[in-house]
Amino acid sequence: MKYDRIPKELYIRNREKFKALMDKSALAVFNSNDIYPISADSTMPFQQHRDILHLSGVDQEESILVIFPEASNPAHREVLFLRETNEHIAVWEGEKLTKEAAFEVSGIKTVYWLNQFDSIFKQLMAEASSVYLNTNEHLRANTEVETREDRFIKRVKENYPVHPTRKSAPLMHRIRSVKEREELDLMQRACNITEAGFRRLLGFIQPGVWEYEIEAELAHEFLRNRSKGFAYTPIVASGKNACVLHYIENNQQCKDGDVILLDVGAEYANYSSDLTRCVPVNGRFTPRQKEVYNAVLHVKKEAEKLLVPGTIMSEYHKQVGLLMEEQLLKLKLIDKTDIANQRAEWPAYKKYFMHGTSHFLGLDTHDVGLWNEPIQAGMVFTCEPGIYIPEEGLGIRIEDDLVVQEQGAPFNLMGNIPIEAEEIEALMNA
């Protein structure tokens, strides 16, 4: 790992929050991710499953966490199972966690090697009244690939058919959605790294550069600041490409007179940042480009004010839609007839602003959370309105990362990143 060690007290508190929501006499199991193959002996870079990471801090493959608060043996109330390390593994793959190091990372005193799991788990299940299993219940989840967690769930249901099963996902969504102070500090660091990358670009972008060259500048800046790189696949979309919401080819040359939409963010310690800014290729917005830019910025500033405790996200998105409708009327992109004839399920504004305004942010870029409950202080959301005009070859989206506060407006983790059109122009022409 490139990042500094995170204090184990964070993971101790996270486990206590999870335990407080568990049923009586139940145990819970969390598995690490696999290292996914590509072909031959090639693999994807390892990415830890966010739930075991959130509860233990263990950031390596072939790891299992068991939480059993009412185990008769106090040593078995929290247990880590790790792949046994040795000199051969150290030479070929690098250092893995020892039992002592695992305690320093997680605060868990009982650590066994993975080859002991089946026998110890059998003992624990004999005591447990039910078992929490960890399924991926994110609303956007793509579950075509069978994970290590999926295989484990099959084994449990085959080997322990009379044990009632519980879902850990709703509990994890609840505790992960409200961030601890240490998590906010890590997210701030990710945002600061993103800021460094964006400021670097303002002196680099000019007519004739290629989108992939811009991506490379960001990658350089992110890596030199101890990030693993992008928190998600970067979007570097110039001109009409900005009207493709998930444009990731990044293979076109940037032309004089166009605007580049940059939806990019660094990760740090597995925590995501998520930034969108739009900059003119030649350093100056045209009057029309600036008019659209400022309309989006106005919606963003007004939408932020709604991210306060008690807000229901479905109502929030309706309110943002009305803000956008007002701006699209001023831009003459829609008229009152369009509004009069609109369908409730597809308002007129959606012709030019077709996506949501905010999503949870944390260990995942589209983080888990409770969409049907009022938002709370400590939650982190993006705010990212946009206007996309294919007939003008112009797409504008502006996005920051916001922490909901107990009172008042949210705290902007990206408050130091240039956002006003005039400031961006001044820095590009400095």
Both tokens assigned to 421? 């059109």
Q: Which of 61, 397, 400, 425 is catalytic?
A: 397
The 3-class secondary structure across 180-198, one letter per residue, is CHHHHHHHHHHHHHHHHHH
Q: Which of 189, 215, 388, 425 is catalytic?
A: 388
Q: For residue 411, which phi and psi values (nearest 5 degrees)?
A: -85, 130
Decide if 53 contacts 64 (C-beta within 8 A).
Answer: no
In the chain, the amino acid numbered 109 is K
Which residues is 262 bridged to in the sheet?
236, 277
Both tokens assigned to 192? 């600061």
Q: Which of 246, 343, 345, 406 is catalytic?
A: 246
Q: Which of 197, 214, 293 is nearest to 252 (CA)?
A: 214
> For the chain, how far is it from start to end, CA to CA, in angstroms?
37
The residues near 213 (Cβ < 8 Å, ≥ 6 apart) are 204
Displacement of CA 312 from its chain's centroid (Å): 20
Both tokens assigned to 426? 């001044």
Active site residue 343: no
Q: Which of 274, 304, 367, 401 is catalytic?
A: 274
Active site residue 399: yes
Active site residue 224: no
Q: Which of 183, 302, 359, 400 is catalytic?
A: 359
Active site residue 246: yes
Give the integer Cα–Cα distance in Å for 362 and 191. 12
Give the integer Cα–Cα distance in Å for 351 and 321. 12
Query: What percent of the residues of the chain are helix, what percent strand, and what percent coil, each to the nearest 5?
Result: 40, 15, 45
Q: Which of 211, 217, 263, 267 is catalytic?
A: 263
Q: Which of 148, 284, 366, 392 is catalytic?
A: 366
Q: Which of 5, 155, 224, 355 is catalytic?
A: 355
Q: Which of 384, 400, 401, 425 is catalytic?
A: 384
Displacement of CA 275 from its chain's centroid (Å): 11
Q: What is the DSSP code (8-state) at residue 346?
A: B
Active site residue 352: no
Active site residue 388: yes
Q: Which of 399, 400, 401, 425 is catalytic?
A: 399
Q: Which of 17, 12, 360, 374 is nearest to 177 (CA)?
A: 360
Active site residue 150: no
Decide if 262 contacts 386 (C-beta within 8 A).
Answer: no
Give the integer Cα–Cα distance in Å for 75 and 351. 59
Decide if 226 contacts 2 (C-beta within 8 A).
Answer: yes
Active site residue 41: yes
Active site residue 400: no
Active site residue 54: no
Active site residue 335: no
Q: Which of 175, 200, 179 is nearest to 188 (CA)?
A: 179
Decide if 404 contacts 378 (C-beta within 8 A).
Answer: yes
Give the integer Cα–Cα distance in Å for 364 and 270. 8
User: Which residue numbers are catalytic?
Assistant: 41, 246, 263, 274, 355, 359, 366, 384, 388, 397, 399
